[in-house]
Each structure stands twice: as C-alpha cells, then as structure tokens.
Amino acid sequence: MMTSRCGFVAIVGAPNAGKSTLLNRLTGAKLSIVSPKAQTTRFRVLGILMRPQAQVLLVDTPGIFQPRRKLDRAMVAAAWTGAADADLALMLVDARAGLRDDVRDIVKKLGASGRRCWLVLNKTDLVAPASLLPLTASLSELARFEEAFMVSAQTGDGVGELADALAAAMPEGPYLYPEDDLTDLPDRLLAAETVREQIFLQTHEEVPYGTTVETESFTERRDGSVRIEVTVYVARPGHKAILIGDKGTKIKAIGARARQDLTGLLERPVHLFLNVKERKGWDEEGARLRAIGLEDPG
C-alpha cells in the first residue's frame, strides 16, 4: 500500500521577492495577488498543490520588513507565524537584488529558529547564471539550508523540480484538504483582493499603502451571476480624490479590470460595485486588520 504525504510549506522572504508569483505558479492558479510594488501581500494565503500521493499545503506570506504602522506589524507577525507553523520554510530570494541587508537579517533569523528550511533563488531569468552559485554560497553561510533551488516563478523554469522535491519531503500523513480544493480563501476575500491588486497596479506612491478593501456583500443571483459590493477605505482625504480620479475615470478603470478578473476566477458573470470611503487611521484599527484575516498585534 502506498502511504500519502501531507505538510505545510511556508514561502517567506523580503517584499517583492516573488513569493506570491511562486505560489500561483506552483498551484497553477491565480490565488495570491501580485504587483511590482513591495508589500503587496498582507495576510497568509493557502495554495494547495497536489502531486501523486502527496498534498503540499503552500502558505504565501507577507514580505518581511521593518514594520512601523500597526498594519505593518500585523503583516510581519503573520509572516513569522506562517514560518513557525510550517513543516518546512522556503526562503525565497530575489537573485537580481542579491544579498541585501534585509535579506541577510531574515535569513539569519530563520537560521536561528532551527526550522527546516530550503533556499530558493528566484528571478533567474534576470541574472547571469554564473552569479547564482556565489549567491547561494554567501546565503548558506548565514543559515543551514537543507536544499537549494534556482527558479523563475515568472517563466516556470525550475519550478517543476521544486514541486517534486516538496512532495517527496512532506511528512507521511493523510490529506488535510479535499483533493480538488485549490485554497481555503473565501470568495468574499478573493473579491476584495482582486480589487486591491488593481489599486496596487493602477495607483502610486502612498495611495496603495493607505488603502484597504473589504467586501460588504456578496449575493448570488437567480440568473447565475453574482453581485459584489466592495468598500475601499482610504486613510487620507487626498487619496480619495486620487482613487476616484477625474470624473471617476480611475475608480472606473480599477473596477472594470477587477470585474474582468473576478468573472474568470469565479467562473460566472459579476456585477461589481465599488464605494470609496475615507477612514482616517484604519491602518491602526484592530477591526480593519481582522477584516482581512490579520491578528491585532496590540
């Protein structure tokens, strides 16, 4: 009889390393939002990778950085908790950015935790292959990695090998989720995240960081479509005007693209309504953090 394997794998690293891109690539689904800006991911996102006789429960985490606001502290705490709860941590490093100080600090802390960890160099499509071994060597001086992989989460290069190795490294045990599940992310949260992704892609400077998104209502209609009402909270009055744009053009563009993405993700027609509200200090407010699944760090 074949025994099954199942375990949790946390993807950790500095902001913008490509953690969410890797989660999406490994699972073959768009589960976690991605943007060229740092600090895109705010809470843990589970992605389920099925291999023959193995279920790998991948946990995408927020990038680890020096937190200032309560929101930031909750994000970084969620990342470390993700690593602590996992059977294995994947330390993802942007190979082009190399051994930055923040990466060095994270690797040292991970190494000191004594947890099982593997090193994954990402964005290999952007660097000369000859730079990868020296970088691996420098990183390996800071922590004991059981394995090292080189991938491009964007092109998929090396990702299949990583998936096979992960499946083989999981502890023996029964599957914890149904075999055809991809995530445990509720549709309401997926809707809010899809809107937030467009805000990260279509606005700049402080605006995306001063914004949070919550789904107010999610109603299945008899014709098979779904009606979703979303509130976008901004921390500053100036941000509301930027987000809405001249004659509402910006918020319309954000809504149009998010609706298009959600129609694909939910596989049915979507009616999406966005409402922008000013809420000073939401990023210090426990209720707003809990609404996106974060714990209030106090």
Instruction: Identify each DSSP E strand in 43-181 by its residue range.
Output: 45-51, 54-60, 88-94, 117-122, 148-150
20 binds Mg ion (CB under 5 A): yes
Structure tokens at 167: 């499946």
Q: Which stretch binds ligand GTP (CB under 6 A): 14-22, 97-105, 255-263, 279-287?
A: 14-22
196 binds ligand GTP (CB under 6 A): no
Instruction: Identify each DSSP E strand in 29-167 by its residue range.
Output: 45-51, 54-60, 88-94, 117-122, 148-150
Task: List the beta bridge partners of residue 211.
Answer: 234
Binding track, positions 57-86, relative to ligand GTP; x by CB under 6 A: -----xx-----------------------
The residues in 39-58 that bind ligand GTP, with binding defined as CB under 6 A, are 39-41
| Total residues interacting with ligand GTP, rule: CB under 6 A | 23
Q: Which stretch binds ligand GTP (CB under 6 A): 120-128, 135-143, 255-263, 265-273?
A: 120-128
Residue from 38, 112, 165, 168 that binds ligand GTP (CB under 6 A)?
38
19 binds ligand GTP (CB under 6 A): yes
Residue 151 Cα distances to 51, 148, 270, angstroms: 19, 10, 35
Burial of 114 (C-beta count, 10 Å sphere; 0-12/13-18/19+): exposed
150 binds, among Mg ion, ligand GTP, none (CB under 5 to 8 A by kind): none
Residue 6 phi, psi dihedral angles, 5° rounding: -160, 135
Q: Which stretch binds Mg ion (CB under 5 A): 12-20, 120-128, 245-253, 280-288?
A: 12-20
Burial of 79 (C-beta count, 10 Å sphere; 0-12/13-18/19+): buried
Q: How many residues are there in the chain? A: 298
Residue found under tokens 């299949």: 160
41 binds Mg ion (CB under 5 A): yes
Instruction: Say how far apart CA 150 and CA 124 lie, in whole Å.
Output: 7
Q: Which stretch binds ligand GTP (CB under 6 A): 18-26, 45-53, 133-141, 215-223?
A: 18-26
Give the nearest distance from C-beta 274 to ligand GTP in angstroms.
Answer: 22
Residue from 55, 122, 212, 231 that binds ligand GTP (CB under 6 A)?
122
With beta carbons less than 8 A apart as the criterion, state whether 278 and 232 touch: no
Residue from 7, 18, 82, 111 that binds ligand GTP (CB under 6 A)?
18
Binding site for ligand GTP (CB under 6 A): 15-21, 34-36, 38-41, 62-63, 122-123, 125-126, 152-154
